[in-house]
Homo-oligomer: A and B are copies of this chain.
């Protein structure tokens, strides 16, 4: 499966009003702290890959968090941010970081954000507040390779429904934006 994902900068207050008017369903809010790693044998910036540990906690603030490791492959489709993702949970993020460290992988950057999720016509709309970057809206949906084009068209329509301009799509990841802004 591929993740079809479009992202634009947007003030959240206006988008929440449109989501409400369109009958979107509020799904929940989470905080995510993503640590991205450099590999000892590949330049991920050059190969357009990523290895990430994500710590996610729900909005309740009870201190419970889950950890997942994710590999992201290179972009397979230029028109959206579509890439292969392979992901599974890990029981202890610190231990897993120790394993990566022992193998020669090292933390390269940390992206921290609050995500407010809505379901809208088969898509997930996410209102992201990213530390040091600001407010964004993402729309995404998983698709088999054969349906990537159709799912992307649907995402564009829904962005317009939300009063957003698909032409303002940002293809750079939050990680990339953070690295750009720190240069």
- Chain A interface residues toward B at CB < 8 A: 39-42, 49, 51, 69-71, 73, 86-92, 95-96, 98-99, 102-104
* A73 closest partner in B (C-beta): B102
* A93 closest partner in B (C-beta): B88
* Copies of the polypeptide in the assembly: 2
Q: Which B residues are in CB contact (< 8 Å) with A41?
A: 40-41, 104
Main secondary structure of the interface of A (DSSP, over half): mixed
Q: Which B residues are in CB contact (< 8 Å) with A40?
A: 41
Contact between chains at B51 and A103 (CB < 8 Å): yes
Q: Which B residues are in CB contact (< 8 Å) with A51?
A: 99, 103
14 A-B residue contacts at CB 8 Å?
A: A39-B103, A49-B102, A51-B103, A69-B90, A70-B99, A71-B98, A86-B95, A88-B90, A88-B99, A89-B90, A89-B91, A89-B92, A90-B91, A91-B91
